[in-house]
Structure 1
Amino acid sequence: MPKKLKSILQIVIFLGIGLFLIWLITKDLTDKEKEDIKTALRNAHYWLVIPAMIIGIASHWARAVRWKLLIKPLGYSPSTLNTFFAVMVGYLANLAVPRLGEVSRCGILARYEKIPADKLVGTMIAERAVDLICLILLMVVTVLVQIDVVGGFFNTHIWEPLQQKFANAGTGQLGILAVVLIIVLLIGYFLFKRFARSKAAIAMRTLARGVLEGILSIGKMERKGWFIFYSLLIWALYFSMLYCGFYTLDETTHLGFKAALAILGFGSIGMIVTQGGIGAYHALVQKTLLLYNIAPTTGLAFSWILWLAQTLLVMVLGVLSLILLPVLNNRETKKAPATGPDPDLLKKINQPNS
């Protein structure tokens, strides 16, 4: 399948899922409920979105600084501004094509900082793994601190459907899947051995080594404490941004710490499921707010305010990053020639352990 066609299909499929979810949660709304949503949106305190957006910018900056900590053990020290721009371009790309952002931000930083892209891909994978661990911990804490409220929701809407899916698969289907997987692995191993000296195989091995080196950069970090700090700071800023959002509607101002934890956890899952979180984010935030006796119409209005604020922030910063990257880097290039890896860092990495 041509690459361009594949990209178009990805956009259509994920956008279609998102639009279908929006239709699903709005199709049965009565005229009164639609009017209630419009009233809630009209009466919202939109000026409170401004501090939430400032907090959002701080979270993206913290992510850029954390990424720099992962890159430094590889012998490179990119500028924080270029790293921040790359992160924002990645988020912007994710709005268009799911998971394209991860590749885009690595490509941007590789281009402007002269860092091998394969190594950057490894650091990105490591970073995403840490984010996944943080999300899992957040969900565990969310359920534990309010087991009576969120525990039931988690069990009904997430755990039971997963169990049902595996139960419906049956032993025979799972066995066939295992056999197919083994055959695919064996064929892959045979082809790799058969064409081990081909240019494609050599390129794949080089890429794999670079990716592995990037992933292992976590273990080589000298400032692991700062990495943990920034990881926690990113999620604390996400939490603060969401908490600010409570004050945009009079009906949600009374919601506290526990509700914010639940919305952050389930909303983050919604952002992962569909392109830019469209549809899935709104549905999960609305369902979560029902647990705290917030009317479905208010919950839907609140989800739209939060989603639009985050999406607008990414779009504005992403476009600005695309504009400023070549301008600022051309100016820096005129001042001084591009440099390669930091010699002192490379010396430390290559120095044998005593």
Structure 2
Amino acid sequence: MKLSFKQALQVIASFLVAIFIFWYLYKDIKMDSLLNALQEASSFYIGLSVALSIIGYWLRAWRWKLLIKVGEDKMPSVARVFWALMGGYLANLLVPRAGEVARCGYLTKTDQLPMGKLVGTVILERTVDLISMILVIIFTFFVQRTIFTELLDLLVSQETLEESLIGALPIALGMVIIIGLVLYVVFSKYRESSLIKKIRHFLRDLMTGLKSIKKVDTQTGFWGATLGIWVIYFFMMYFVAIAVPSTATLSASAVLMVMVMGSIGMVAPVQGGIGTFHALVAFILMTYGLTEEDGKIFAVIVHTSQLLTIMGLGVISVVILAKLTSTKQPLLK
């Protein structure tokens, strides 16, 4: 994937921000403390967390395949979709959010599937994930209401938030109207140009992908997989909590709160949530009585175990997808 000079600068800036946050968080943590924590941690439970994460990635690939399947005569195998997904995750570590396009590009090359439709299914999938995360946050709010309320009071002033939203609303509406008018004029004036025809064709494929959820054969399977993915995320975190002595006594509801904060940290536009994940997880653990050092060590163990898993599977996926692209060799369905 080629980047323009401006895009390259944005990627470098994002990476430097992530590294700075990570350095600032861990500059006072001694390496001996981290090594001792790793020695005391249960490799069995950490390994169980990693194994569970791989099952979660496979379940996500299966769910994505359900969306891709709508309206298609030929279908890639779940294995091929899985490797495209992991290749995308690897790309995300290099360029934030680039993996969503990269995984679509892989399947377009290996199976000649419409790029627009694939992007539409990914947007739909991410929208479902966002709504799911909001529902999980709401559920967590009721389970850990006291902690949640304290955090909101500490981090956000309700009065300031309302004033900011009211002030920004007219500007946002104005920008939407202007952009809409510009797009309408351009598409009307140059509708017969080859570029506009390609864009319109891409947008039609995109809408087809977005509508896929209504036509999924296995609605129960799709929504069950969505729930299963979040259940797996929880147990991934829970097993690491059991593995580390300082967090072994945390309740399930506390781990749920940690998972929510970690998920929010992963949404930040930095490579792999580096820094933001660690900061939010360590912060929330301190509210449960852990020391700052213990919170940061737990965060780095959780994040590093998943980072290494993604890197390992991602590298394998690049090799497999390169072979598939050159030979058009099918994988078992």
TM-score (norm. length: structure 1): 0.85
Counterpart residue number, 2:320: 324
Please say which of residues 142-151 and 320-329 is displaced more in the overlay.
Answer: 320-329
Mark the CA change 1:214 to 1:169 in structure 2 (over 3 Å): closer, same or farther.
Answer: closer
Mark the CA change 1:333 to 1:86 in structure 2 (over 3 Å): closer, same or farther.
Answer: closer
Structure 1 unaligned spans of 5+: 337-354
Residue 153 of structure 1 aligns with an amino acid whose one-letter code is L
Residue 321 of structure 2 aligns with an amino acid whose one-letter code is L
Tell me if structure 2 keeps the 8 A contact 1:239–1:261.
yes
CA distance in 1, matches of 2:23, 2:228: 36
Please say which of residues 103-112 and 18-27 is displaced more in the overlay.
Answer: 18-27
Counterpart residue number, 1:351: none
Q: How does 1:235-250 map to 2 (within 5 A)?
A: 235-250=230-245
Percent of residue pairs bearing the same amino acid type? 34
Matched, 1:285 2:260: no
Counterpart residue number, 1:58: 55
Tell me if structure 2 keeps the 8 A contact 1:19–1:279.
yes
Residue 298 of structure 2 aligns with an amino acid whose one-letter code is F
Instruction: Give the structure with higher Rg (CA).
Output: 1
Matched, 1:11 2:8: no
Measured after TM superposition, the shift of residue 179 of structure 1 is 3.2
Mark the CA change 1:287 to 1:189 in structure 2 (over 3 Å): closer, same or farther.
Answer: same
Q: 2:185 aligns with which of 179, 186, 190?
A: 190
Q: 1:149 aligns with which of 130, 147, 160?
A: 147
Measured after TM superposition, the shift of residue 152 of structure 1 is 1.9
Tell me if structure 2 keeps the 8 A contact 1:7–1:97.
no
CA distance in 1, matches of 2:330, 2:137: 49
CA distance in 1, matches of 2:244, 2:330: 50
Mark the CA change 1:143 to 1:334 in structure 2 (over 3 Å): closer, same or farther.
Answer: closer
Residue 19 of structure 2 aligns with an amino acid whose one-letter code is L
Residue 50 of structure 2 aligns with an amino acid whose one-letter code is M
CA distance in 1, matches of 2:157, 2:115: 39
**Per-residue deviation, residues 177-215 of structure 1 (Å, max 9, x unmatched):** 543443333222212211121111111111111000001
Measured after TM superposition, the shift of residue 162 of structure 1 is 7.8
Residue 216 of structure 1 aligns with an amino acid whose one-letter code is K
The count of residues paired between Structure 1 and Structure 2 equals 329
Mark the CA change 1:114 to 1:183 in structure 2 (over 3 Å): closer, same or farther.
Answer: closer
Tell me if structure 1 keeps the 8 A contact 2:89–2:314.
yes
What is the SS of the residue equivalent to 2:41?
Answer: coil
Mark the CA change 1:209 to 1:316 in structure 2 (over 3 Å): closer, same or farther.
Answer: same
CA distance in 1, matches of 2:22, 2:325: 41
Tell me if structure 2 keeps the 8 A contact 1:53–1:241.
yes
Q: 1:267 aligns with which of 262, 271, 274?
A: 262
Measured after TM superposition, the shift of residue 112 of structure 1 is 1.1
Tell me if structure 1 keeps the 8 A contact 2:49–2:240.
yes
**Per-residue deviation, residues 286-310 of structure 1 (Å, max 9, x unmatched):** 0111121111100100000001001
What is the SS of the residue equivalent to 2:55?
Answer: helix
Counterpart residue number, 1:49: 46
Residue 95 of structure 1 aligns with an amino acid whose one-letter code is L
Give the root-mean-square deviation of aligned CA atoms: 2.5
Matched, 1:313 2:309: yes
Counterpart residue number, 2:217: 222
Mark the CA change 1:169 to 1:333 in structure 2 (over 3 Å): closer, same or farther.
Answer: closer
Structure 2 unaligned spans of 5+: none
Runs of 4+ with >4 A deviation: 33-38, 328-332
CA distance in 1, matches of 2:80, 2:165: 47
Tell me if structure 2 keeps the 8 A contact 1:267–1:284.
yes
CA distance in 2, matches of 1:314, 1:179: 41
Q: 1:258 aligns with which of 248, 253, 268?
A: 253
**Per-residue deviation, residues 227-280 of structure 1 (Å, max 9, x unmatched):** 011111111111111111012211111112101211111101111102201000
Tell me if structure 2 keeps the 8 A contact 1:98–1:275.
yes
